[in-house]
Amino acid sequence: MEKDQIIEALAEWNFWTRQQDTGIPRRAYGELLAKLSATGQIIVITGARRSGKSTIIRQRIQQLNTNGVDPKDCLYVNLEEPKFMGDLTVGFLQQIYDAYLEIVNPPGKKQYIFLDEVQLIPGWEKFVRGLHEKGKAHIIVSGSSAGLLSQEFATALTGRHIDVTVYPLRFKEFLWFRNVPAQTQLNLASHSGEIKRTLREYLEVGGFPLVALQEEKKRILTAYFDDILSKDIAERHRIKKIEKLKKLAIFYLTNLSSPSSFRRVQKFIGLSLDSVERYSQYLQEAYLLFFVQKFSYSLKEQEVNPRKVYCIDNGLKNLVSFRMSENMGQLYENTVFLELLQRGKEIFYWKSKKECDFVIKEGNKVRLAIQVCSNLASRQAEEVAGLLEAMEKFKLREGLIITGEEDKKMQVSGKKVRFIPLWKWLLT
């Protein structure tokens, strides 16, 4: 491409001569990026497709402009731009940068460079490292795969990057998107009915930002699911058996929160054990799935025990599964897992005679045990027994049961058990 053609394509995405759509602010990410930018490190943003990475980048650019940075000192490159297809090489990145310097002529001494979906450029890290070492730019790159941090990338940028993972909306954010007040204790008390109704919607449609705002939710979710499998996994890893990959993904999504071994999955899917392991890893790299290990002080035992599986979004689970009412327990547990993940917790499950859904490790010790139960009426004794077994094992004096409605405290066998509704726990 000629330089003027490159700038013409870039101008449609940048703030040089026009405002761009920046959506509803996700303030926590904006504050985090501002803080990390001050370190001078390369910021690497990863996360599931359509979880909001590109919008958060545009919000960061708008934030910079509001704080006095000239719009021409910010270069945003969407590498999924159709006009760039066929030219995706490191040399083309250099062409883009040269055209930007020559034609846009940024006035500042140091620019802000944003490369979106950078994994589409083989060897992109060489270009980024060169810019960083010369001190010419603040750099943020994004991609839809944890595999963005390949061994080659990690080696090339050792000690030069900070990682940020973007997730779909948390329940707090979902309420914000749906204009439901939940910022104060008074809001929670006076709008509790509306909050509970919105929670049910959140459990059904999930937290992808566009899904929260648009009416065609099933159509959008279907497109997301297909794109994750085809673009982020099959194309990237050159998988020909895409129907087997899809069958594996659906198997996991319909068996959320259940311990599962690769050998068990192999028998159901009809793939080799090696293929099941590889495909499962690819699903995890694309942020569609997460695997949680059984807690053990032995790393070897952690590896050999079955893993529990969770997914990035309840909407995708409901897309391929049975009626929502039949899955409510799984949806509750998956929601708690995602919230714990975004709170930065180190998560395991525990099982001996009974099972405890989550045990949270901090440092070298388990500090918290959690059970999740959407309908406690017929299961309270079983849930409490599993919790108490974990509390006894890890010498915990207090435990937590996240429920549908129950909000109380009780003493059981000399230990404190707190029951709290899911909506209230998500907002604390």
Q: Is 237 inside a domain boundary? A: no
Is residue 363 within 8 Å of residue 352, measured between CB atoms?
no
Between 402 and 160, name the one with better pLDDT. Answer: 402
Q: Is 357 inside a domain boundary? A: no
pTM: 0.93
* Confidence category of residue 126, pLDDT binned at 50, 70, 90: confident
* Confidence category of residue 1, pLDDT binned at 50, 70, 90: confident
* Confidence category of residue 148, pLDDT binned at 50, 70, 90: low
Tell me the CATH number at 35: 3.40.50.300
Q: Is 103 inside a domain boundary? A: yes
**Tens-digit pLDDT profile for residues 386-424:** 999 999 999 999 999 999 999 999 999 889 999 999 999
Quickly count: other Cβ atoms within 10 Å of residue 43's Cβ.
Answer: 21
Is residue 74 within 8 Å of residue 114, measured between CB atoms?
yes
- The pLDDT score that the predictor gives to residue 154 is 59
Q: Is 353 inside a domain boundary? A: no
* Confidence category of residue 230, pLDDT binned at 50, 70, 90: very high
**Tens-digit pLDDT profile for residues 236-256:** 899 988 999 999 999 999 999
* Confidence category of residue 125, pLDDT binned at 50, 70, 90: confident
* DSSP per residue, 324-387: GGGGHHHHHHHHHHHHHHHTT-EEEEEESSSEEEEEEEETTEEEEEEEE-S--TTTHHHHHHHH
- The pLDDT score that the predictor gives to residue 257 is 94
For the chain, the domain total comes to 1
* Confidence category of residue 91, pLDDT binned at 50, 70, 90: very high
* Confidence category of residue 322, pLDDT binned at 50, 70, 90: low
Q: Is 131 inside a domain boundary? A: yes
Domain span including residue 62? 3-166
Average pLDDT for 251-274:
91
The amino acid sitting at 269 is I
For the chain, give the percent of residues with pLDDT over 70. 96
Residue 149 has pLDDT above 60, yes or no: no
Q: Which residues pair with 85 in a beta bridge?
A: none
**Tens-digit pLDDT profile for residues 346-400:** 999 999 999 999 999 999 899 999 999 999 888 899 999 999 999 999 999 999 9
The amino acid sitting at 370 is I
Residue 76 has pLDDT above 60, yes or no: yes
Q: Is 70 inside a domain boundary? A: yes
Is residue 253 within 8 Å of residue 317, measured between CB atoms?
yes
Q: Is 204 inside a domain boundary? A: no
Q: Is 112 inside a domain boundary? A: yes
The whole-chain average pLDDT of the chain stands at 92
Average pLDDT for 144-151:
62
Average pLDDT for 155-159:
67
